[in-house]
Structure 1
Amino acid sequence: MASLKIQSLVKRYGETEVVRGLDLDVAEGEMVALLGPSGCGKTTTLRMVAGFITPTSGKIDLGGKDITMLPPHQRDTAMVFQSYALFPHMTVAANVGFGLEMRKIGKSDRDARIKNALEMVQLGHLADRLPKQLSGGQQQRVALARALAVNPSILLLDEPLSNLDAKLRAEVQHEIRALQQRLGLTTLMVTHDQEEALIMADKMVVMEAGIIQQQGTPTDLYESPANVFVAGFIGRCNLVEGAVTAPGTFRANSGASLACAPDTMGTVLALRPEHITLAPMQTGKATGTITRITYLGAQTEYAVNVDGTTLFASTRTPLAGAAIGDQIGLDWDVCQARLLAGTNA
């Protein structure tokens, strides 16, 4: 395994900069997730690391070696694609061994590596089957085994689980993460699924319009978003525009008065729904009217109108007797009500 260092990476198509001066370090054995909305530049970045796209400028260093202009087969990388990219006419074993054959690995060594890779993903018993005889989850594990078989310095994952249903996706997420940790695989993953990144990654990198908005641990990004974009993109968040009118008091544009930490400033108040406590009696930091109740299984979400501002609060246990139209109290720790600069600041 090896570390990855990206410096001032730029990709321009005509006048459009898809990636704009990106700097990123991936430590040896670390799993890093690039995420952001469609068109933010995350897949372009991954493909530049893989060698499928040539950067306009910048440098990509893998294990102390400059690979910026090397062709893909000389980079010691392996990629798992969104579409699996398995050869339908080849057996599972032949698919896993394809990269080894292209690298001119001898048959005995190749067979040993194929067997080992399939055992890693618990598919050794399916070596002679064709891809069409496998489930989606099994096909994805074959694609992963093919990548692992070449012993890459870095594993690249391009939205690897997006074609799986929700239940299977959750299972494979944990399988890949456990395997990555056990093998100490340096891994760079692209995903648009924030929950997937929270579950799998050591470090998350949130991109927008070709720029990194924030990078850090999942806890850092969720609990301490750097700006409004990150707060809104990672998890559910109440984002209320307004201004601080006195220490500890934030007045929303609607006129609602909301408590915040006394030593903070900003034009947007960010407050996670799970950080709001609801009380049947009209007590707490604010009082409002329930306008919607949504049962989500593991939790129940309440939309509450507070003087023209809607705040969403979620609870694990539904409030007994609460109904739309009821007056209710809302409370929160002022340290959880973060103030951020507005998008126009």
Structure 2
Amino acid sequence: MAFQNELPPNTAARHQGRMAYLDDRFLPRTVLGPLWEQAQESSLVMRLGQRVPVSYGETVMPVSAVEPEVGQVGTGTSFAEREGHVKPVTGVAWGHTSFAPIKLAGIITVSEEFSNIDPQGLNSTLQTKLANAIGRGVDLAVFHGRRPDTGGELLGIEQNGFVAKTTKKIELADKDPRVPAGSPLRQQLIDGWELVANERLNMNAWAVDPLFRPKLVAAMDPQGRALFGGEVDLAAQRSSLLGLPAEYGRAVSGQVGTYAGDRCRIFGGDWSRCLFGFADAVRIKKSTEGVVTVGDQTVNLWQTNQVALLIEVTFGWLVDPRAFVKFELPAPATAADSEDSTTTSSSRSRRSTAA
């Protein structure tokens, strides 16, 4: 079959050089390109997750199904009861899981005049902006399974999973009957930690949306003391929350690119269950003679004196949603809720007047 924009001959018997024709046997299993430091600094996933080797094809990872265990030798504690007795035999078993990478890419064009004059250094910042775009693309993929340019769902990632796919949810309500005075936030975070602990997993870090940072700073106990005390450094990308590291990034709520995001403000979990890796290097290509197609429009760069910068990377990830808990803001009140509230208030008022 012919693949996208493949020139003839393009049949299975004779075709152009495309990775899509290759069997996984031809693809390296442990190729790992270097990360661009700028992309790494901007990415929440790269700060929290665990980096692993990823190939261009399918990456297969062994998973322990049965752990070896030890037992007592003999029938008691004395030498006579221990010496010469048969040692117990244990066993082990493995399963496996697999995932495949996706390619992230973007093209930006400028006029040749813009490139040469570089007004206010704007053209010089484009490479940094593109590197940051890769970081945001990685984050939105791993946290929400979406793409920043359109906000749409990523395709073919059923095996990869994403953090927001967790079924463990805690509502960040302003009131909690268990906490009659002060902020209930500490109790809510502990409730979420317990959900992860019940899976026999180790909560080891938080991912927090910067939008929620003022709430953390303002949270008080009944005596008016800060729940999460200590000097507050608003410039820091990392702090601590209940003794665990907390990293801040917009990918938590998903408000990245054109995606509107959701009501999530904090993720907690076992981040060793968030694996990511790169099959090649984050790289930029420059062209002044190619053509760029967007929809039905094709533009010749050479004929129109334009310069195109392309950034791309092939990366993969694997997330176990069971290892995470999602802390969400309450759903906004609907008109029906307001009407019910008004009716209830009126009813109470009538009962009070009658009394």
Give the shorter-chain TM-score range: under 0.3
Structure number with bigger Rg: 2
RCO comparison, higher one (Cα < 8 Å, 6+) = 2
Greater percentage in strand: 1
